[in-house]
């Protein structure tokens, strides 16, 4: 199953604002270094914005955020909690899920359809402890 990351408006506007600023700096300034940094920054930000997603299959959760990749064995997942943490992670929203796996590992994701995401993981590993807030949250 494929899940897109939920995107907060403020986060999207921030990324697009920085992208526009970098584009403007590339037009105004002529040094080659500005162009190199600008192209790299714009490419990375847009890749993160449009390339953050989660895939469940073959007993694994594959997390992709631009050039960054990680894989979690679903059988290793111990628990999942709803969180609003701002810790760095492959999530474009503060409406997040903390996934505790193995002994001390943590993955932070923000799937658009949280309930379906949790259900998909539970069909593979029924022993995952799930915070009730993942199912009881009201839509904003």
Count the domains in the chain.
1
> So what's the pLDDT on residue 136?
64
> So what's the pLDDT on residue 140?
43
> So what's the pLDDT on residue 88?
77
Which domain range does residue 51 map to? Answer: 2-134
Q: Residue 57: inside a domain, yes or no?
A: yes
Q: Can you give the pTM of this predicted structure? A: 0.83
Cα separation, 104 vs 54, in Å, equals: 21
* Cβ(74)–Cβ(125) below 8 Å: yes
Quick one: how far is CA 115 from the chain centroid? 16
> Which residue in 80, 78, 49, 84 sits closest to 64, CA to CA?
49
Contacts with 81 (C-beta within 8 Å, 6 or more apart), sequence order: 97, 98, 100, 131, 133, 134
> So what's the pLDDT on residue 13?
94
Q: Residue 36: inside a domain, yes or no?
A: yes
Q: Residue 139: inside a domain, yes or no?
A: no
CATH of the domain at 43: 2.30.29.30
> So what's the pLDDT on residue 97?
92
Q: Residue 129: inside a domain, yes or no?
A: yes
Q: What are phi and psi of 41, to 5 degrees?
A: -65, -50
Q: Which ranges constitute the DSSP H helices of 6-132?
A: 9-28, 32-50, 114-124
Mean pLDDT by 10 residues, the chain (140 residues): 93 92 83 87 93 94 95 94 84 91 89 92 92 63
């Amino acid at each position: 199953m494929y899940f897109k990351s939920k995107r907060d408006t403020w986060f999207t506007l921030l990324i697009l604002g920085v992208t526009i600023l970098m584009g403007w700096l590339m037009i105004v300034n002529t040094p080659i270094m500005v162009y190199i940094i600008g192209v790299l920054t714009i490419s990375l930000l847009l890749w993160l914005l449009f390339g953050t997603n989660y895939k469940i299959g073959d007993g694994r959760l594959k997390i992709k955020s631009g050039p960054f990749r990680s894989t979690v064995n679903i059988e290793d997942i111990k628990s999942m909690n709803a969180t609003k943490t701002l810790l760095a992670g492959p999530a474009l929203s503060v409406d997040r899920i903390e996934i505790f796996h193995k002994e001390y590992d943590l993955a932070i994701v923000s799937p658009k359809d949280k309930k379906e995401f949790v259900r998909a993981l539970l069909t593979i590993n029924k022993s995952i402890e799930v915070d009730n807030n993942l199912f009881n949250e009201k839509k904003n």
